Structure 1
Amino acid sequence: MLDDAYVSSLNTPSELTPVDEHRAKVAALLRRTPVETRPLADCLGLALATDLVAPISLPSFDNSAMDGYAVRSVDLTEASAEQPVELPVAEDIPAGRVDVPPLQPGTAHRIMTGAQLPPGADAVLPVERTDGGTDKVRMFAGVQPGKHLRRAGEDVAHGTTVLTAGTRLGAAQLGVAAAVGAAELPVHRAPRVLVLSTGSELVAPGEPLQPGQIYESNGLMLSAAVREAGGEPTLLRFVPDDVEAFHAVLAEHVASADLLLTSGGVSAGAYEVVKDALQGNGVEFSKVAMQPGMPQGCGRYRDAFAVVTLPGNPVSSMVSFEVFVRPAMLAAAGHADTTRTVKQAALAEPLTAPAGKQQFRRGIYDPDSGSVSLQGAPGSHLLGSLAKANCLLTIREDITELATGSIVDVMLLD
């Protein structure tokens, strides 16, 4: 049985590590991942390692923004529906034609969207304002100089920075990289994360449960969170509450992992295998001034990979990942933006919070009204309410109660 004075001390603010202090420890553990040059198709979700400077302009030449006719605008000054101007069609210019002849006065070139503007033309008249002729074309309207054109360099000028280092490479970013001719990019490798859930009571989903057993959910949940954050997870199933078995599993992965992420086995009770195995091997454990998620640990396992130990209750584990692990992973992977979007919202109901602890409550943020409502009770085992939440309310450690309408910070989860 635990000593009453020890149990009491766990809730004493002076004995607890501030959230920001523990966050800084975790961030310092994860080293920047190596830079690799990869084909564009393999760069999705990764962070650009160096600025991408445009070797060409976009567009690289003046081109048509419409299907129509390249003209000299002065030739159409008298054109109208009642008195159309008729011009001979001297050339056809489809997109991709490279031998584009100059446009002579008093003529038109039929031109397609994206095709190179012929020298001498200063505008394009859309085909809808003509009779669509191929030998001769009747034009029912005039056009202003520069109309329906895309000028060279109006999107991206040669020599300008298209993407800055630290940019997350999504579909649009990869598209512009391809558009300026980049076939490959230097990127930071995704962090390789071992995700390990301990507990002899754990059973794989789909298997029959015996009395006292529970389905293992943290491993799958944290692996998904790692992948969402741009990491490459390896889920280790299942390590029983046995220290030697724990070390044997880690020995198989020492050379390949950047981070070991565990859940469970770090509290003050007996049979805490994570703490028993890692204490004295470079990992320190502490109580962090937060709810949920007070028992935490971090360090470097035998000078090999970084270790972050999370509590076993599922909500505590997931909240701890959001607060400590996700930003550290993104920073290690070279991302410039490592934080979730934070909004201020009005409480739709009152709440209470424990003194001396930063509280993270599940909530539903309504962007239309700018309000947030609580989703479920604060219990760290209530995973169903976390699955329905779209934000976490952050309540400072010096606040113990808030009235309806109070303004709070909410961290958006989607």
Structure 2
Amino acid sequence: MQDISLEQAISVLLEHTKKIEAVEEVPLLEALGRVLAEDAVATFDNPPFDRSPLDGYTFAAAGTKGATKEAPAAFTVIGEECAGDFFAAEVPAGSAVRLMTGAAIPKGCDCVVRQEDVTVEDGRIFVPYELHHHENYCFAGEDVRKGTRAVERGTELTAAHLGVLASLGFGTVKVLRRPRVAIASTGDELVLPGEPLRPGKIYNSNLYALAGRLREMGFCPEVIGILPDDAQQAASVIAGCRGKVDLFLTTGGVSVGKKDIMHEVVRLIGTRLFWRVCIKPGAPVIAYTVGDMLGIALSGNPFASYATFELLTRPVLEAFSGRSSVAGRAVEGFLADAFPKPSYGRRFIRAHYEAGIFEIPAQHDSGSLFSAAGCNALIDIPAGTGPLMAGTRVKGVLL
């Protein structure tokens, strides 16, 4: 099978990715970043009553006509109302009620005066200027009217959306089910952090980097762990996830070495979609299906797996989840540093992007993850590009 371009690989993957339409109901506090499955419609006006925007006194504004500092209007204070209280009686002309911010405005009143603007003596207030109908007055439904579609179906919920939904009394919301992603690494040379590092072994960084990346994006991966360099055993584990997960990610076992088992794994349980993508690092990617489950087998080299995860897996996760925030954002800028290597094929290099400037670390080896820790972008260098000088304008993907 011939190597394919990155864009072709993404297209093939998306052909085998269907947006998840399954719905689940979750508590509002657990809905951040989830995609709303149905319109959220206000069932009442919010606020549900006319209210005061400040601490002061409320009365009928007509009673202040002609009021001046020298001849203030006088009102008898007949009650007090804090936010959450309710003054049920209608307030007669010539009377006032003391209100706190957010308190409901009683019947018979149509304005509010700041408490610091009045003089209080013997149970009366003296207002030194005229007020107008609905001055300092917040109306019921001023924020959201009953029947309004407050948050639209398909919206990726932010903290502000949660606030709106909470103000409308939504304790739970219906959201799309998250994509179910399983992740594993292959290789008898791998041990988990915390275990003794025996001769010839290395710690498994890929599992932690990619599982952590998935969690950063708001997904909850099922971490399978380490698969042995045995095609039959690995195939059994992966096939056992069919019907339980939407995407199975692995790292390692994709090249042409003696223990690159993923070719045989795919032959045993699934259908291969492609092998090898025309990019560096991480070219030997295998994509496959096992029934309705999509599988992506990434390189075992730490940075290669990280980079190809960003380039190939993120579009799949966006399509599965309907979350536009998952996709990487294209950016352009200038190199702060020279890149001395020629790029005979298309190459992606790690960088830190800020204010239109790409800073690139000295270490670019695909087996090194350390220099990626401070990076937030991948620079896209076209095939056939020679060494790049500082100041060269380049394109990239912001992570």
TM over 0.5: yes
1:406 matched to 2:395: no
Cα distance in 2 between the residues matched to 1:388 and 1:363: 8
**Equivalent of 1:168 in 150, 156, 168:** 156
Cα distance in 1 between the residues matched to 2:322 and 2:74: 60
Q: Which residue number corresponds to residue 381 of structure 1? A: 367
Cα distance in 1 between the residues matched to 2:363 and 2:249: 26
1:283 matched to 2:266: no
| TM alignment of 1:347-386, pairs within 5 A | 347-351=335-339, 355=343, 357-367=345-355, 370-386=356-372
Q: What residue identity is the alignment partner of 1:31?
A: K
Cα distance in 1 between the residues matched to 2:67 and 2:331: 56
1:250 aligned counterpart, secondary structure: helix
How far apart are 1:22 and its partner, in Å? 0.8
1:24 matched to 2:14: no
Cα distance in 2 between the residues matched to 1:174 and 1:134: 47
Cα distance in 2 between the residues matched to 1:159 and 1:397: 56
Cα distance in 1 between the residues matched to 2:376 and 2:71: 62
Q: Is the 8 A contact 2:12 2:273 kept in 1?
A: no
Cα distance in 1 between the residues matched to 2:299 and 2:315: 18
CA distance 1:107–1:412, change in 2 (3 Å): farther
Q: Which residue number corresponds to residue 7 of structure 1? A: none
CA deviations on 1:228-271 (whole Å, 9 max, x unpaired) are 22322111222111112212322443342111100111012221
**Equivalent of 1:296 in 265, 285, 304:** 285
How far apart are 1:50 and its partner, in Å? 2.4
Unmatched 5+ stretches in structure 2: none
Q: Which residue number corresponds to residue 257 of structure 2? A: 269
Q: What residue identity is the alignment partner of 2:354?
A: D
Q: What residue identity is the alignment partner of 1:182?
A: F
Cα distance in 1 between the residues matched to 2:379 and 2:135: 51
Cα distance in 2 between the residues matched to 1:149 and 1:358: 63
Q: Is the 8 A contact 2:74 2:94 kept in 1?
A: no
How far apart are 1:131 and its partner, in Å? 4.9
Unmatched 5+ stretches in structure 1: 1-9
1:246 aligned counterpart, secondary structure: helix
How far apart are 1:26 and its partner, in Å? 2.0
Q: Which residue number corresponds to residue 90 of structure 1? A: 78
1:194 aligned counterpart, secondary structure: strand
Q: Is the 8 A contact 1:229 1:329 kept in 2?
A: no
Q: What residue identity is the alignment partner of 1:383?
A: L
Q: What residue identity is the alignment partner of 2:288?
A: G
2:351 aligned counterpart, secondary structure: strand
**Which deviates the most, 107-116 or 187-196?**
107-116
Cα distance in 1 between the residues matched to 2:121 and 2:313: 65
Superposition TM-score, scaled by structure 1 size: 0.86
| TM alignment of 1:307-346, pairs within 5 A | 307-346=295-334
CA distance 1:200–1:122, change in 2 (3 Å): same
Q: What residue identity is the alignment partner of 1:37?
A: E
Q: Which residue number corresponds to residue 189 of structure 1? A: 177
Q: Which residue number corresponds to residue 3 of structure 1? A: none
Q: Is the 8 A contact 1:262 1:309 kept in 2?
A: yes
How far apart are 1:328 and its partner, in Å? 1.5
How far apart are 1:153 and its partner, in Å? 2.8
Q: What residue identity is the alignment partner of 1:21?
A: Q
How far apart are 1:332 and its partner, in Å? 0.9
CA deviations on 1:68-113 (whole Å, 9 max, x unpaired) are 2123445446666676544211232222334544443333221122
**Which deviates the most, 201-210 or 370-379?**
370-379
CA distance 1:298–1:77, change in 2 (3 Å): farther
**Which deviates the most, 85-94 or 186-195?**
85-94
Q: Which residue number corresponds to residue 31 of structure 2? A: 43
1:156 matched to 2:141: no
Q: Is the 8 A contact 1:331 1:338 kept in 2?
A: no
Cα distance in 2 between the residues matched to 1:330 and 1:119: 52
**Which deviates the most, 219-228 or 30-39?**
30-39
Superposition TM-score, scaled by structure 2 size: 0.88
Q: What residue identity is the alignment partner of 1:276?
A: E
RMSD, aligned α-carbons:
2.8
CA deviations on 1:153-176 (whole Å, 9 max, x unpaired) are 332233332222222223322221
Q: Which residue number corresponds to residue 49 of structure 2? A: 61
CA distance 1:185–1:216, change in 2 (3 Å): same
Q: Which residue number corresponds to residue 4 of structure 1? A: none
CA distance 1:81–1:239, change in 2 (3 Å): farther
Cα distance in 2 between the residues matched to 1:400 and 1:102: 83
Cα distance in 1 between the residues matched to 2:304 and 2:70: 76
Q: Is the 8 A contact 2:333 2:357 kept in 1?
A: yes
Q: What residue identity is the alignment partner of 1:18?
A: S
CA distance 1:162–1:393, change in 2 (3 Å): farther
**Equivalent of 2:99 in 78, 87, 111:** 111
CA distance 1:288–1:80, change in 2 (3 Å): farther
1:220 aligned counterpart, secondary structure: helix
Cα distance in 1 between the residues matched to 2:67 and 2:347: 72
